Every structure is written in structure tokens, then in C-alpha cells.
Chains A and B, each alone.
Chain A
Amino acid sequence: MAFLTRTRRSRRAKPAGNEQNRSTGGRESTVPSFRDMALSSDLDANLDRLKEIFRDCSDIVFREFLFAQKEQIRLALVYTDGLADKSQVSEQIMRALSLEVPVAAPEAEITRANALHFVKMRGLCIHQVRESARVADVVDAVLSGDTVLLVDGHAVALINGARGWEMRSIQDSQTEVVVRGPRESFIETLRVNTSLIRRKIKNPNLKIEMFKLGEVTRTDVALVYIKGIASVGLVAEARNRLARIKIDGVLESGYIEELVQDDPYTPFALLHHTDRPDRVAAYLLEGRVAILVDGTPVVLLAPTLFIESIQTPEDYYEKSQFMTAIRMLRLLALFLSLTAPSFYVAIISFHHEMLPTALLLSIAAQREAVPLPVFVETLLMEIAFELIRETGIRLPRPIGMAVSIVAALIIGEAAVQAGMVAAATVIVVALAAIASFAVYYSGSVTVRLLRFFVLLLTSVMGLLGLMTGIILIVTHMASLRSFGIPYLYPVAPLGSADMKDVIVRAPWWAMFTRPGLISKKNRRRMAQGLKPEPLPTGGERHCWRKAGLTAGRPVFCWSRFFLPARFCLFRFSLCSTPVRTPGSQLFLLLSAA
């Protein structure tokens, strides 16, 4: 709170700059403002200043040594212990400069004046070296793991990219598991994550813009997009939204998600998040932007459509027919997980006449022994389920297993046998719970929350309450936008060409446009007429030739001939025939008929 008030006050007072001082300089105001300082040419002055800045930072290492020449020049290394690669620092920098340069180039005339140039060009055996004259850059570099080399007599620091710290290795994705498709997932190090994307998209148009967010944490944030595919407006919008973030720290991409989303209060995820590089690459190829945050494997993707919460990367790797069926299953799951308990409550307590007699009798028999009204019972079961889920996730894995077994046994078996809960309630709640996991995680969180809302409304008004809940939710969703794109697109507003990837996952040869609203200009994804067709044989080939179709495969589009394009829910192809004479078109039509 103290920090917040201070920020607010100082924001009013200060026009720009001096940020570091504002956020850190509360308790100890001895840290000088170094944001605008330049290095001096005196090594001692520089070191004093850096030591002052890094006072009480026990992990910062200062190491002075001599550049072994006749005219001895003093050098100093500054790096963070644990972030810099120690073997590289000692071998490629210190050993090279103090021992090997004199051996390799004994004739070289090294003076104070050309020392910097000589060190950089012939001395350092480091793959990445850059220069800077600003103290702020030096501080950032040291804290990011780089090793800074200061040369006496020069007001320029050499920043060596000899980073190396302990990191997790690349592992299987934890949140989105696939059967067919790549397994790798992002890790906590930003550079590794960008390399995973770059490995998938080897194109200079893949742009990775860096931001430093968090005035205390100075977290690296990368805005990734493909120039020429992502619309210019979208990239500019993303850049603006990132640039206006002023916060003390960014520890996870969730911070950024809540700061940049379009509607501040919605429970729906307006930015998709994933830890899978293949998903990120696919989204980038559709003209979206990705926001990577250092320190977390979770990458944000924008803009997002609601329908993406039932899509998985595997949808595009596995057979389209199968994945279409699975998508319908997931839609059903989405619907069930939202409404199943409410529907049950509505039927049991308001509209028993809707049940077939046999079922009604069996449920009535179960409910006779149960003391609670059905709404309370369902609510309690829902809460119990959420408890089990929560403990199952948070507890250490071995104990978590035990908890879920005990809970399942007690609630599933004992509660029903003791006559405290009707078996039907357990079935319905379990069904909704399982169904909620068929939806992507962020979607399922939202649905689970809204389930309670709908349940409450239903307990008041039965089926009308259920419908009220659904209509309110849909109205709310219709009002949402993600980076300007309507959240329910392509269903509402209808994008008939993009319905190919909603309920149906069209085969790849039919998905030759990118989502229309997202990739505004550059819509074409592939060449037309890629639909594989066996070459005509024998007499047929003769016919094709007669029709003037010697080259290329004739492609026939039923939608063009039988239905105006507007009425097709999804167009399988907008293909053109290789030869466009009226005669050949007619022939094609006839032969197809």
C-alpha cells in the first residue's frame, strides 16, 4: 500500500524518467539515481560508482586484473555470481586477456588509447560482445547475467554475453498433453523460449521485440509476431498496451494478461495462454501476436476467440473427421459442464413432469431418504468436488493421490450409502466435473465459476432461471472483444469462411485462408486446389483432355455451382479450374452431374 501511494504521488509530480529511484528509493535513499549517468574514463571512478550501486549485493563480483603488456592497463570484470557462466568468464575472458594475448600477438603495440579496440577485436573469446557508455546499461547487463568488462581510460563498457545459470531442461507440456504431435514445452528462460519458436518459424519476418516491464524486477518481455502476416494495427495496439504498463514487478504472464485485456471484469480468458511452442507458432501464422515473459513457461496469445478454448493443437495433426467428432464432443462437454447440475436441479425441483415415468420413479425412490433439498445437495456436492480438485492440485503429488482416493471413496460410496446424498446427484455432479476437463484449462475455470451462477439462478426459477443464466452469459460473451476482435467470432458475427475451424475441423487442403478478422490483409495461407485427387485413368483422362484440361488437376467446387457462397456454412474450397472457358466449365458441370 505504501508503495502504491508513493507511486501515485510521484507519478503526479514527475513528468518522465527517474523510474528506478521512484520505486526503489523509499527505504534507503542512498542509492543514487544512475538512470541517466554516463561512464567515466577513470576505472576507479566507475568501480566506485558501481560498488555504490551494488552495495550489500553479495552476489555481485568485482574482479580487477591487468592486461599483460609493457604498458600495463587495468581491467575490471563485474558480473553476478550464479548468473554468469564461471568457466567462460575465467577461460575466455580472464585467461585470454591476461595470458594468451601477449603470446598470440607479442608484436602488437598496445597503448592506453587502442586498448579497448584491441581487447574487443583480438582479446575476448566471447560470442556476443556489445558496447555501452551508460551506467544503466551496465547495471541491467550485470543483473541479467552478462559479464561487464571495464577498461581503464575508456568510458565504454564491453558487455559480454557469457550467461549461464541453472535452468530446467525442456520437458513435456504439462497443461496440454497430446498423443500425436511435438512434446516439448516452454521453460522459464525467455531466450530458450524464443529459440523454440524460431526453430519452428525460420523466417526473418518473425520479429521478437523486447520490453523491460516491472520497475523493480526489470523483467524481460518479448512481443513476437510475423511481420507481413500480423496486421500492423494489431502489433501497434499490442505494443501500446505493453508500453503503458507501469508496475513494480511482473512475475508471471498473468500480471500482463489482466493489465492488457479488453474487458477488465470478465471471467472469460481474453488472452489465450499456452506452454506449447507449436500452438504459439500456429497462432503466429494466423496473424496473431504472442507475449512471452521471462520467468514463466506460460505464453500469452492475442487476439483470442472463445471457440479456441475447445481447440487443441492435436486437432490439426490428427485426421480431420476424427477431430471433428471430438470437437462436437468437447462442445457437448462445455455445455454439460455449464448446465448439467442446474438442469438436474430444475427438473427435480420444478419440472418433474418432464421426466419419463420410469426415471421419475427411480429418482423419487432415491430422493426419499435424502434429507436436503436438491439445490442444497447439488451445491454441497459441487463444493465438495471443487475441494477435492483443489487439494489434489496443491498437495505434494503422493499425498494428493491419497486425498483424491479417500475423497472419492467417502463421497462416492459412503455418502450415498448413508443416504445423505442421492446417487443421481453424485452422477450429475461427476459428469459435469469430468466434462469440464474436456475443455481447455482456462475455459474450464470460467465454466466452473459460471456453473455456480447458473445453479443459483436455477434454484430460484427453475428452467427459466437456467435460461436466464445462459442468455446473460451469452450476451456478456457477445459484448467481449479480444484486442478488438469479437470474442464469439466466427459464430457471431458470422464469418462463414471461418466456420471451417469451429465445429468442423476442415481438412488442411480446405483451410487455405487465415481467420478473416484477425489477419486483415494477408489472408491466403496456401495455394488453391491442393485437394489431393487421384489422377484420372484411361478413358477419363481422354475426357479431361477433350475438355481442355491438360495440365493440373481439375477441381470441382460444389458450393460454387449449387449454392451461392453466402449460404455455405463453410466453403470447402473456392477453387478455380485451370482453364476457364465457358465450354470447359459446362463440361465439368455435366460430367460431375
Chain B
Amino acid sequence: MARLVVGLGLRFPGKTLFQYPEIILGKAAGKAVALLYLWWFFQNCAENYRSFISFLAVSFMPETPLMVFVAFALIMASYGAYYGLEVIARTNQLFLPFVIVSVVLLFFLSVPEMTVNNLLPVFEAGMIHLVKSTAAPLAWFGEVVTFAVFIPYLNRPGQAHRVALFGILGTAAIYEMTVIGIIAIFSPALTAGYLFPVLNGARIIHLANFLERMELVLVVIWTVAGVMRVTLLHWVLVLGSAQWLGLKDYRPMILPVAVILTALFMLIHKGILEEYYFLAWVWPLYSLIIFEAGLPFLLLAVAAIRGVGGKSG
């Protein structure tokens, strides 16, 4: 998928996902595809806001209305989006080492609580079930489609393949580490029962009667990482909608996009359990089939057949 997206991006240097469908498919169909993507990014961004906030709300401040959280998150995201990709990237660069170090630290601190036998038996459920359940994580990683928006802004677009792959592999490694750690602590059955197993994992860390309540670290990681993610998607949306409407500057779109996102955020789910069900069973197939694999493949195929765009990828 990453190769697909990067291939598309490199074919049309200087153009984003919201611009090249027009070149590939013609004006009307192209606008329609771009609009579809815009919709998907809206939904995606709202889902991200939702999951970012429901963690904080459910586990730390259950009595605070969600709107307050949204207001804070939107302030941060809009501020980052206002300054643009470069600033978002730099902010991220500053925070990333802390996030990674904290995740690894949490993993190692919880080692005493782990039981390796919890990981056994491997492949118990059989291959088919395994493939089916990889859909959700695959869809998360499939969000590499977002990359199609940054490629024109890379200093060295030639390295886009490597960057995308490195990003996915790095994320996957951290993700694997966390999942394995948590399952080793709680056993699969218990893990499945928790809403936020990592939080529970962090809660049980006790070291030398001093290092306790590590969930604080988790909140910090979650906030930083969540905000970075949301900021990025917010920027993508703002840029996309501005490009779709043919505006020269994306900044006027920040406020309208924030308003739409707030409304969408409040509408999409009734509660955390519904959100979970949706994210686990509906969202992956929906986004994976249409937006992360289907449309990019279609676009690339049409582009190749019609011979549009530069030769590369």
C-alpha cells in the first residue's frame, strides 16, 4: 500500500492526493474522487479525535463534558495546522524521542509482571481467524495514504519509499512490542476484557515502592502522540479542502474545518462501546477496501493506462 501511494505521489511531483485525481480522471470524476477522500479524511480525523479523547475522558475525567476536551484538542490542532507541515514535523521530531523512550521504558518496567506462558499457544485460532483479525491493524497502518498528501512537501521526494516503509515498520515494531507485553501481563482473555489494556498495564507497575502510578506517563504519551496525529490530519484536511475549492492559501479553511470536525465528532458515536465496535468491525473494511487500497490502485492503474504523469515509482 505504501508503495502504491508513494508511486502515485512520485508520478505527480508537486501535486497532492487532492489534486492529481483531476489529472488522471478528468475534471468531474477527479473532483468527485478528491471529495471522497476529503470525506474519508474528515471521518478519519473525527475518529482520531474521538479515540484520543475518549481515552482521556473515560479513564481520567469521566465527568467532564466531551466538548471541553474537543475545544482543547482543536486549539492545539488548529495552532499546528496554522503553521503548516514543517512546524508540525519539527514539533513531532522534538516529542518523538520522549514518546518512544517512554513506551520502551513502560515495557521494560512491566517486565517483572509478565508471564511468557500467557503468550502460548500461538496460532491457536487458526489461519483464517488470524487473517480476519489483522484487518483492523492493517487499516491503521493503511493510513499511510495520508502520505500521499505530504510527498510533494518532502525535501527529497526520492526517499519517499524508504521513509514510508521505515515509518510503517517502526510503528509496527512499537505496536507489536506493546501488544506482546500486555498479553504477557494479562493473558489474552483478560486483555480482551479491558477497554484500555495498556493503561491497566501501566497501573500495575510497582518498582521499589517508589515508581508507582505510571499511568501518568501514559497520559503524557497519549496526549502528545494523539495531538500530533490529530494535528497532522487536521492540516491534511485544511489543505485538502482548500485545494479542492481551489484556494491559494489554506489558512482561511482552518476555522470551517474545525467547526465541521466538532459537529462530526459529537455525532459519530453514542458511546465508547459503540465506538469500539465500529473501530473493530466496520471501519477497517470500509477504509481498507475503498480508500487505502481500492482508490489508490484504481488511480495508479488509470494513470498508467492513460500514461499521465511523470515516469517514476
State whether these chains interact.
yes
Contact of A464 with B56 at beta-carbon distance under 8 Å, contacts A475-B91, A493-B90 already known:
yes
In contact, B93 and A475 (Cβ under 8 angstroms): no
Contact of A492 with B216 at beta-carbon distance under 8 Å, contacts A350-B61, A461-B68, A471-B76 already known:
no
In contact, A475 and B216 (Cβ under 8 angstroms): no
Give chain B residues whose Cβ lies under 8 Å from the Cβ of A491.
Answer: 93-94
In contact, A467 and B216 (Cβ under 8 angstroms): no
Contact of A471 with B227 at beta-carbon distance under 8 Å, contacts A353-B213, A354-B213, A354-B215 already known:
yes
In contact, A475 and B79 (Cβ under 8 angstroms): yes
- Main secondary structure on B side of the interface with A: helix
In contact, A467 and B94 (Cβ under 8 angstroms): no
In contact, A472 and B79 (Cβ under 8 angstroms): yes
Contact partner, B90, options A463, A471, A488, Cβ 8 Å:
A488
Give per-residue flags for A458-478: 1 if the beta carbon is below 8 A from chain B beta carbons, else 0. Answer: 001111110110011011101
Distance from A407 Cβ to chain B, minimum over Cβ atoms (Å): 34
The number of chain B residues touching the other chain, given as a range, is 20 to 34
Across chains A and B, the number of contacting residue pairs, with CB separation under 8 Å, is: 80
Contact of A471 with B91 at beta-carbon distance under 8 Å, contacts A463-B216, A478-B83 already known:
yes
Contact of A356 with B93 at beta-carbon distance under 8 Å, contacts A475-B83, A479-B87 already known:
no
In contact, A472 and B216 (Cβ under 8 angstroms): no
Interface size, chain A (Cβ < 8 Å): 27
Q: Does B177 contact A (CB under 8 A)?
A: no
In contact, A464 and B90 (Cβ under 8 angstroms): no
Give per-residue flags for B205-238: 1 if the beta carbon is below 8 A from chain A beta carbons, else 0. Answer: 0000010110110011001100100010000000
In contact, A467 and B87 (Cβ under 8 angstroms): no
Give chain A residues whose Cβ lies under 8 Å from the Cβ of B87.
Answer: 475, 478-479
Give the CA-CA distance A465 to B80 in the complex, in Å.
16
Give chain A residues whose Cβ lies under 8 Å from the Cβ of B219.
Answer: 463-464, 467
Give the CA-CA distance A166 to B296 in the complex, in Å.
77
Closest to A350 in B: B61
> Quick one: which of A471, A476, A492 has the most chain B CB within 10 A?
A471
Give the CA-CA distance A494 to B94 in the complex, in Å.
9
Contact partner, B72, options A464, A474, A486, A492, Cβ 8 Å:
A464
Give chain A residues whose Cβ lies under 8 Å from the Cβ of B61.
Answer: 350, 462, 464
In contact, A492 and B90 (Cβ under 8 angstroms): yes
Distance from A472 Cβ to chain B, minimum over Cβ atoms (Å): 6
Give the CA-CA distance A350 to B216 in the complex, in Å.
12
Give chain B residues whose Cβ lies under 8 Å from the Cβ of A122.
Answer: none
Give the CA-CA distance A467 to B73 in the complex, in Å.
10
Q: Does A351 contact B (CB under 8 A)?
A: yes
In contact, A351 and B224 (Cβ under 8 angstroms): no
Give the CA-CA distance A476 to B94 in the complex, in Å.
12
Distance from B76 Cβ to chain A, minimum over Cβ atoms (Å): 5
Give per-residue flags for A521-556: 1 if the beta carbon is below 8 A from chain B beta carbons, else 0. Answer: 000000000000000000000000000000000000
What would 30 A/B residue contacts be, using CB atoms closer than 8 Å?
A351-B216, A354-B213, A354-B215, A354-B216, A356-B212, A461-B64, A461-B69, A462-B61, A463-B216, A463-B223, A464-B223, A467-B220, A467-B223, A468-B72, A468-B75, A471-B91, A471-B95, A471-B223, A471-B227, A472-B76, A474-B95, A475-B76, A475-B79, A475-B91, A475-B231, A476-B79, A478-B90, A479-B83, A486-B90, A488-B94
Interface residue ranges, A against B (CB under 8 Å): 350-351, 353-356, 460-465, 467-468, 471-472, 474-476, 478-479, 486, 488, 491-494
